[in-house]
């Protein structure tokens, strides 16, 4: 009888422990009202601007970043990217009449070169002329060499823009010229955000990056034409500026896309629609800010982000129902940069799958996720309730249930033993 009792007790304890009592939990919270701080009051002349952390894709600073504007010669980053995809640096490209008729900035006209339609120029020299001098003639050479004409090349530009998720962008020219003659009734626009996507893509190409990071370059076009080009990006090689592309038209204002690196961290900045020659200082301001600013703490290390009443049966499929309030706790700070885009779009979600029979203070029970436009940050969720705590809180109930089960079991055993004894007695008589 003692052996039976011990076996039953051990079996019940194992059953309780191995009961897989999992409870799923999830919530979503919109962070529209989470940001009270407005950083658009930073004193820059540019009407539109943005900075992006290259490694994490986090938007750090934003000012009217989704408003459409003319990009001027920053357009040439797309033209340069397509050149790198379709030609080798050693390829020879033909100079066309259309290219020779392009207005300044134009290498042919600005340097009074002796060139004729049909003359050849290396693709590498075209790339340098495009990005250092911002040559409109170089952009046209590229367009006609790749697509045959400007319209077909514009279609190629827009296809690539869609591929890069530049949903608020439309290109009509390879140069960024926005005169009525150049546009011919077509639209040419982008946004600071879209241009940041293009900048990241273009500067990820070594050929484009090398040209855009070159201070001066010697171009030997032919025996009669040798010139030295100077990069129009005045910030180049200052305060960590690795590369950049400028732009200006009367409609567009001053524009600049620039890549910076400080202490191994790369940040890309975009300036659009600046009405002042101070746009280089504008870039320095938003870049300095982006390196110095600390992300705002949404939840602190050790903070309970939420609680949930979870219900379960003591014996998994039967028994009394018990409800516990389970806290969801962080073991690190949850952070995010303050800016208008994050304020409007970012969402936070918590997902948990709680096994009440496998809880410890070190076990991860879920994740808290912050979804931004192009960045996702995930943080582990813990609790301060352990399985031992649950058992201790309900030990009386377990003992009562165990006693009842044992009583019934013993009652049955005793009944069986008595029947066997009576049957044996009758047989002996």
What are the extents of the domains in the chain?
A: 2-30+298-393, 46-292
Mean pLDDT by 10 residues, the chain (429 residues): 43 42 52 43 86 97 97 98 98 96 94 91 96 97 98 98 98 95 93 98 98 94 85 96 97 97 98 91 96 94 88 63 84 94 94 78 90 95 79 66 76 76 59
pLDDT at 17: 40
Q: Copy the structure tokens of residue 388.
A: 């031992």
Asked if 210 contacts 220 with a C-beta cutoff of 8 angstroms, the reply is: no
> How much is the pTM?
0.83
Angle (CA) 18-21-25 rounded to 5° is 150
CA–CA distances in Å: residue 330 to residues 224, 298, 361, 363 = 70, 11, 11, 12
pLDDT tens, residue by residue, 283-321: 999 999 999 999 999 999 999 999 888 776 666 556 667
pLDDT at 15: 41
pLDDT at 319: 63
pLDDT at 141: 98
pLDDT at 215: 97
pLDDT at 11: 42
Domain boundaries 46-292, corresponding CATH code: 3.40.710.10
């Amino acid at each position: 009888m003692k052996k039976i009792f011990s076996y039953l007790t051990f079996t019940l304890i194992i059953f309780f422990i191995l009961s897989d009592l999992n409870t799923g939990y999830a919530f979503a919270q919109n962070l529209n009202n989470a940001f009270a701080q407005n950083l658009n009051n930073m004193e820059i002349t540019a009407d539109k601007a943005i900075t992006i952390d290259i490694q994490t894709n986090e938007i750090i600073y934003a000012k009217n970043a989704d408003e459409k504007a003319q990009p001027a010669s920053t357009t040439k980053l797309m033209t340069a990217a397509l050149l790198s995809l379709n030609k080798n640096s050693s390829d020879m490209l033909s100079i066309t009449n259309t290219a020779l008729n392009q207005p300044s900035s134009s290498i042919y006209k600005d340097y009074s070169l002796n060139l004729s339609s049909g003359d050849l120029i290396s693709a590498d020299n075209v790339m340098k002329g495009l990005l250092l001098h911002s040559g409109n003639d170089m952009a046209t050479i590229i367009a006609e060499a790749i697509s045959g004409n400007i319209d077909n090349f514009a279609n190629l530009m827009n296809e690539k823009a869609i591929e890069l998720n530049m949903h608020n962008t439309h290109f009509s020219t390879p140069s960024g010229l926005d005169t009525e003659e150049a546009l011919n009734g077509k639209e040419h626009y982008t946004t600071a955000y879209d241009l940041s996507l293009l900048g990241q893509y273009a500067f990820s190409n070594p050929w484009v990056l090398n040209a855009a990071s070159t201070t001066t370059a010697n171009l030997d076009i032919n025996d009669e034409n040798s010139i030295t080009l100077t990069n129009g990006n005045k910030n180049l090689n200052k305060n960590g500026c690795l590369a950049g592309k400028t732009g200006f038209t009367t409609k567009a204002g001053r524009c600049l896309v620039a890549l910076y690196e400080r202490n191994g961290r790369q940040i890309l900045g975009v300036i659009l629609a600046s009405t002042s020659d101070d746009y280089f200082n504008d870039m320095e301001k938003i870049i300095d800010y982006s390196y110095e600013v600390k992300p705002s703490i949404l939840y602190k290390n050790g903070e309970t982000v939420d609680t949930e009443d979870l219900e379960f049966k003591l014996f998994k499929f039967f028994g009394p129902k018990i409800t516990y309030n389970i806290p969801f706790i962080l073991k690190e700070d949850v952070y995010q940069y303050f800016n208008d885009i994050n304020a409007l779009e970012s969402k936070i979600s918590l997902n948990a799958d709680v096994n009440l029979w496998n809880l410890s203070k070190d076990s991860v029970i879920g994740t808290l996720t912050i979804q931004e436009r192009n960045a996702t940050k995930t943080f582990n969720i813990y609790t301060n309730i352990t399985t031992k705590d649950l058992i201790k809180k309900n030990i009386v109930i377990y003992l009562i249930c165990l006693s009842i089960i044992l009583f019934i079991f013993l009652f049955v055993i005793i009944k069986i033993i008595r029947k066997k004894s009576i049957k044996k007695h009758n047989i002996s008589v």
